[in-house]
Amino acid sequence: MSARPAAGTGEGPGAAAARLTGRPVTGRRPLSATLTEVTLDGGQTVMVKRGDGPGAAPAEAAGLRWLADAGTVRVPVVHGHDRDWLVTDQVPVGRPSVRAAARFGRDLAALHSVGAPAFGAPPPDGPTDAYIGLAPMRNVPGSEWPRWYAEHRVLPYLRRAVDDGTVRRGEAEVIERACERLPELAGPAEPPARLHGDLWNGNVLWGADGQAWLIDPAAHGGHRETDLAMLHLFGCPHLDQVLDGYQDVAPLAEGWPDRIGLHQLFPLLVHTVLFGRGYAGQALTVARAALAR
């Protein structure tokens, strides 16, 4: 069964690929409800993704181009997009290796070092209203990371979780207190980094070429430790080698392991909103640990 058409259209992934690339389609293989492998005339295989919400495809396309413009990490080429569909290169998948992990760490450090105009800055041609996975995410610029992170990353999802009844009011107060203490807990001030923004293991593809490739970004300007905290949250093959490679290029500020939980509050609350109570418990655990410091 093919992926269902985009909302409000009768178009499927094959027709979208043909329209956006200008090439006939000779085959397709659905991989999920939103992702289809499409073969174009001439034998090239591309990935066709239906956006997770209104404007998600343009946001992802802009993010991929912004990451590619840095000339550091490897990302699939964007072949076309519109409001509903995104067409990119297929990445032939291989196996993770120590060597690829160390190189990925070095490349990620280089990406972060390229920087961004502000915390919360979207890619130059990206929308303010973007997505992280299935959740809406607003890119509102700010100059001070602790305040910006609290106001535009942690608290919006906390309020939504409270409204949904997933987090109780007394529990929310614990996370709010952690946000109030962010200026003293955040470590030395750092300039805005160019982030992938949703860097969990599922968005790192270990290519058949022996290199790591990044997909599905929620790209924006942020604190570089946030990308690394996401890798810690859901695991990553050869993570120690990734971190060693990273530190070879751009050593992290002293005490960074103690701040991992603070940077995980954002993705944990996003997952609380999307997937329920289990992630709320994890968010409370890291907030309480921060308050105990």
Burial 131-140 (b: 16+ CB within 10 A, else e): bbbebbbebb
Q: Is-catalytic flag, 107?
A: no
Active-site option among 52, 84, 107, 198: 198
- 133-138's contacts with Cβ under 8 Å and 24+ in sequence apart are 133/52, 133/198, 133/216, 133/218, 133/270, 133/274, 134/52, 134/53, 134/274, 135/270, 135/273, 135/274, 136/53, 137/218, 137/220, 137/270
Please calculate the CA angle 36-38-39 and round it to the nearest 5 degrees: 165
Structure tokens at 205: 């593809």
Residues whose CB falls within 8 Å of the CB of residue 165, separated by 6 or more in sequence, listed in order: none
Task: For residue 45, count CB atoms less than 10 angstroms from its CB and return exposed for 0-12, middle for 13-18, buried for 19 or more.
Answer: middle
- Interatomic CA distance for residues 151 and 147, integer angstroms: 6
In this structure, what is the dihedral angle of CA atoms 33, 34, 35, 38, given to the nearest 10 degrees? 90
- Interatomic CA distance for residues 228 and 199, integer angstroms: 8
Which residues are known catalytic residues?
A: 198
